[in-house]
Structure 1
Amino acid sequence: MMRWPSLAAAILSLALLSPGGPATPHDGAAKAADGATKAADGMIVYGVIPPRFGSPPLRAVTQNLPALADLGVTTLWLTPIFESPPGDFGYAVTDYLTVREEYGTRADLDALVAEAHRLRLKVLLDLVPNHTSAKHPYFRDAAARGPSSPYFRFYQHDPRGAPVHYFDWSHLPNLNYDEPGVVRWMTDASLSWIRTSGIDGYRVDAAWGIRERTPSFWGAWTAQIRRARPDAILIAEASARDPFYAAQGFDASYDWTSEPGHWAWEKVFDDPDDIPERLDRALQETAARAPEARVLRFLENNDTGARFITRHGPNLARVAAAALLTLPGVPCLFTGQEVGAEYEPYDVNRVVHLDRGSALRDWYKKLIALRAARPSLRSRHWTRVPVSVRSVYAYVRTEGAERTLVVLQFGDQPVNVVLELPDRQDQSATWRDGVGGPSPRMDEGRMSLSLPRWGVAILGSN
């Protein structure tokens, strides 16, 4: 939800307050989610910062929907659109039932959702249930009247009666989910947008925080949402390495380490000579800790600061895009990523233009179309392939008889690479190129490829 400081302060503030302990799976949530989560395997999420699309923001997003549909994404996640203080990005909510005035009106949102649905795009809102703004009327009343306020128990307090927050977010007081009024309030607000505007679900901000304090809330909440909308899409801003979120009915959670806000791929691309090994470690750690979880994978979002292309350049961005869209998980692109837009996410003054053609956008579109066409690229199955060159990472994706081999060259020099295909079926297969890359040569079960610098080969067999 914003730049993440150290977790140490949060742990200290919760030491006396958190009930702790794992929560057991919620049967109602798991059953209600079973059908909906299958659809998540083919999902490609696109994060939208509305004011970066123009003014008024919601109408500008609607005007850009054809470009997003043409790109091939399936699901839009709108960063917060609820009423918030002027100048705030949106995570300091002051009214959960009102569209932010400078973004547009409820009618503008309804028109956006209707047009998205016409183009076969789903729309997720960014729900912020962990906390409110310190300027929310409930918190102001609690701060002014203390325990005599009907809203005092709506907020978490320490033993001295001071409001509790995470990190340095003093303007974002934690809600108290041991208070039935908070549970009803947030559940009713969540259901309202589904029933009145027809949205398709939520990306849930700081879901890890409520899990830390009142883990029982999430299973009951997801079950309520799916009673109203059985195919709702629910994404938790929390680590996929914690199996809790899948058990409680979420479709996907973030590709984080075990520490909130820390991206599993955070340092993967810093050393070009070591990218394959760092990437493999990150993938293996997530798979080992939560083998059944759907992982929301990304190269950038609202919390990753300068854009990936700014930090690593267009060539590496091209190879990383191929990894994002051919590895297991739910890929997530973010505002302007496909056209190489460069900006800081929380500075929303500059508009990003999506209607300008570019080689990078063509590349993303080709990768997305290939993922849609090949079930193996949407499956959960992948096997690393040993290679002869340190800068190359390769893996096979499978679904039934279909197999897809992905070879990523992260180095800045051309290479001749030999792949030791691990399966007899792969060794005898006829491999066909899917992205206009080099043709392979087979010799006694080994594959040889000549790859240019930052080259990509995606080969299919069935």
Structure 2
Amino acid sequence: MTQHSTDATEARPATREATDWWRDAVIYQVYPRSFADSDGDGTGDLEGIRRRLPHLRDLGVDAVWLSPFYASPQADGGYDVADYRAVDPMYGSLLDADAVIRDAHGLGLRVIVDLVPNHSSDQHEWFRRAVAEGPGSPLRERYHFRPGKGAHGELPPNDWESIFGGPAWTRLPDGDWYLHLFAPEQPDFNWEHPAVADEFRSILRFWLDMGVDGFRVDVAHGMVKAEGLPDIGGGDQLKLLGNDVMPFFDQDGVHAIYRSWRTILDEYDGDRIFVAEAWTPTVERTANYVRPDELHQAFNFQYLGAPWEAGELRAIIDSSLDAMRPVGAPATWVLSNHDVTRHATRYANPQGLGTQIRTPGDRALGLRRARAATLLMLALPGSAYLYQGEELGLPDVTDLPDEVRQDPSFFRAQGQDGFRDGCRVPIPWTVDGPSYGFGDGGSWLPQPSTWGALSVEAQTGDPDSTLELYRAALAVRREQPGLGAGDRVEWQEGVPGGLLVFRRPGFACTVNTTGGPARIPAPGRVLLASSPVTVADGHIELPADTTVWWETT
């Protein structure tokens, strides 16, 4: 039996006319530096994105989320913003941003942009003036400047550590220290100062007036710090991608900010949305960010970090749906992004290594599991996020030479392991060429010599390719009534260990997370399978690490 029965090559309109489009949307993350380069300088840009938008339309996604393209010294891949209303020249201009938004809308794609409110660049006008004016400057009140401890102020104000490693404080020559939960080039805003809140309300309006359909809020669980900036008292603080309770994350005060923002967003037509990057101790805490008068969605990082094991997957799916149901928000599902090892590589390695993997592992095993995990994710009720290149089955690049790495955490002790460059290598579009179609001038991070075979060109039209699997899955998801909608799944009990079987109206999904085949009754007609399958005598021999979608009566 072939992998799928849907013609995935037909271009389909990418958005629904109904309101609340975001409740079951599939949203595609573009990391601009690594998506497409239009001018041959080795770095992706907005014009490159604009030219490649038809790929996203044909893939079948509903929206594109653009990681930061704002004016920035690029100390942390653009997450150090110097001017929130300007485009960095490496990416183009405001006219280019306008063209991307207009062309995306013309193709039926909505556009979500990153908003970075926890910190600015140290080259932001406010911070530069605060430093230049010295201690006592009113502008220092817009950040967290403090005197140091010790006889001569030589010790940091508290024991907080940076997510990227080392102290979370840097001392200026004038003796004051300033807080930066990330790199020293990223000073944290003081959200207790009214000017900070006023500025970001203005920034929201600027981009909404440009026509964006929403914002992904970076470090949405940050911004507000515990009163008095108390010491933590030891332990492992270096866990942006973790669930520990910290005085600088997930403070209740952030919710007043989001209620204020929601009133602005609701003034605009077009059903625009906020998406929270909120790392919290529990999914119940995550649900606080998506109450009816706050944000619309929050990334489900508990799901992203789940091992490929049926019992744990089911538990996280159930807890995620249960947590979102009381607040009326959709669950979200994500397997990869620009901060973690691609799931094709995570699943290629032994379970339990977390989201930062340093070895390639078993490539065939990783890809087989990644394909199966994708079909499972896309069968769940709620909204799904895809990261550029995962539709090609790209692995992480784990052997980048040290001299080419640019992740700031790589150059500091421990924080986030410093291996995020591996998921940010520019993606391949063509079988050959100086950078496999990424651009005419090479790429800012070296691409593996094998990537031509993984390119969009190589995979298009191949029914067994990962790209065509994604195209087919998104086409089926769009055509199958109710797939992606709702807030519940009906689990089938009594299935063999390591298997998941659940039903939705007119649909069933069977998942084998084990390393061997399993024979089970066929729930209906095969719609799509992540690996070749055969149905005979009313049963299916479900291969190892395989997901199958079924049409049921």
Q: Distance in 2 between matches of 1:101 and 1:299?
A: 31
2:542 aligns with 451
* Counterpart for residue 484 of structure 2: 378
Alignment of 1:173-184 (within 5 A): 173-184=187-198
* Cα distance per residue 1:52-91 (max 9 Å; x no partner): 1232411111111111100100110001011111453011
Match of 1:314 among 345, 367, 381: 367
Matches within 5 A, 1:173-322: 173-195=187-209, 197-210=210-223, 212=251, 213-229=253-269, 231-239=271-279, 241=284, 242-247=286-291, 248-256=293-301, 263-269=302-308, 275-291=309-325, 292-305=328-341, 307-312=342-347, 313-322=366-375
1:435 match: 528
Instruction: Kindly indicate whether residue 180 of structure 2 is the aligned counterpart of residue 165 of structure 1.
Output: yes
SS at match of 1:60: helix
Residues 1:395 and 2:408 are matched in the alignment: no
- Is 2:474 the partner of 1:368? yes
Contact 2:513–2:546 (Cα < 8 Å) also in 1: yes
Letter aligned with residue 55 of structure 2:
A
Classify 1:217/1:36 alpha carbon distance in 2 versus 1 (closer, same or farther; 3 Å). farther
2: CA distance, partners of 1:71 / 1:127? 26
State the Cα distance separating 1:149 from its structure 2 match: 2.6
Which TM-score applies when normalising by structure 2?
Answer: 0.67
Q: Is the 8 A contact 2:81 2:124 kept in 1?
A: yes
Give the whole-Å Cα distance in 1 for the aligned partners of 2:258 and 2:545: 43
2 CA distance for matches of 1:98 and 1:351?
26
Distance 2:299 2:101 in 1: 25
Provide the C-alpha distance between the structure 2 equivalents of 1:317 and 1:194, rounded to a whole number of angstroms. Answer: 36
Structure 2 stretches of 5 or more lacking a match?
1-16, 39-44, 149-175, 224-249, 348-365, 398-419, 430-454, 460-464
Deviation sequence 1:405-436 (CA, Å, 0-9, x none): 100122232221259xxxxxxxxxx8332126
Contact 2:428 2:456 in 1 (8 A): no
Instruction: Give yes or no for contact 1:122–1:200 (8 Å, CA) kept in 2.
Output: yes
Is it true that 1:143 corresponds to 2:131 in the alignment? yes
Q: What SS class does the counterpart of residue 96 from structure 1 fall into?
A: strand
Q: Output the amino acid matched with 2:336.
A: E
Q: Please list the CA deviations of residues 90-122 of structure 1 after superposition, one character each: whole Å capped at 9, or x if unmatched.
A: 111111010011011111111111111111000
C-alpha displacement of 1:169: 3.7
Q: Deviations over 1:15-54 (max 9, x none)?
A: xxxxxxxxxxxxxxxxxxxx99722123101000112123
When the two chains are superposed, the root-mean-square deviation of aligned CA atoms in Å is 2.5
Give the drift of 1:325.
0.5
Alignment of 1:23-34 (within 5 A): none
- Supply the distance in 2 between the matched residues of 1:38 and 1:340 (Cα, whole angstroms): 30
CA, structure 1 residues 351+455, in 2 after alignment: closer, same or farther (shift >3 Å)? closer
Unaligned runs of 5+ in 1: 1-34, 257-262, 270-274, 420-429, 443-447
**Is the contact between residue 277 and residue 299 of structure 2 (CA under 8 Å) also seen in structure 1?**
yes
Contact 2:510-2:547 at 8 Å conserved across structures: yes
Shift of 1:284: 2.4
**How far does residue 147 in structure 1 lie from its aligned partner after superposition?**
5.0
**CA shift in 2, pair 1:126/1:346, >3 Å:** farther
Check conservation: 1:131, 1:175, Cα contact below 8 A.
yes
Opposite residue 217 of structure 1, the aligned amino acid is I
* Offset at residue 153 of structure 1 (A): 1.7
Letter in 2 for 1:111: A
8 Å Cα contact 1:406/1:457 also seen in 2: yes
Contact 1:80 1:127 in 2 (8 A): yes
- CA separation in 2, counterparts of 1:230 and 1:68? 21
Q: Return the TM-score normalized by structure 1.
A: 0.79
Q: Count matched residues.
A: 395
The structure with the largest helix share of the pair is 1
- Tell whether 2:384 aligns with 1:331: yes
% identical equivalent positions: 27
Q: Counterpart of 2:457 in 1: which secondary structure?
A: coil
Q: What CA distance in whole angstroms lies between the structure 1 residues aligned with 2:391 and 2:196?
A: 39
Q: How far apart, in 1, do the equivalents of 2:473 and 2:319 lie?
A: 26
- 2: CA distance between counterparts of 1:71 and 1:357? 15
Q: Is the 8 A contact 1:51 1:351 kept in 2?
A: no
CA deviations on 1:126-152 (whole Å, 9 max, x unpaired) are 110111112322112223324543422
Counterpart residue number, 2:552 = 461
> Does the 8 A contact of 2:321 with 2:331 survive in 1?
no
3-state secondary structure, aligned to 1:450:
strand
Q: 2: CA distance between counterparts of 1:364 and 1:387?
A: 30
8 Å CA contact retained: 1:219, 1:249: yes
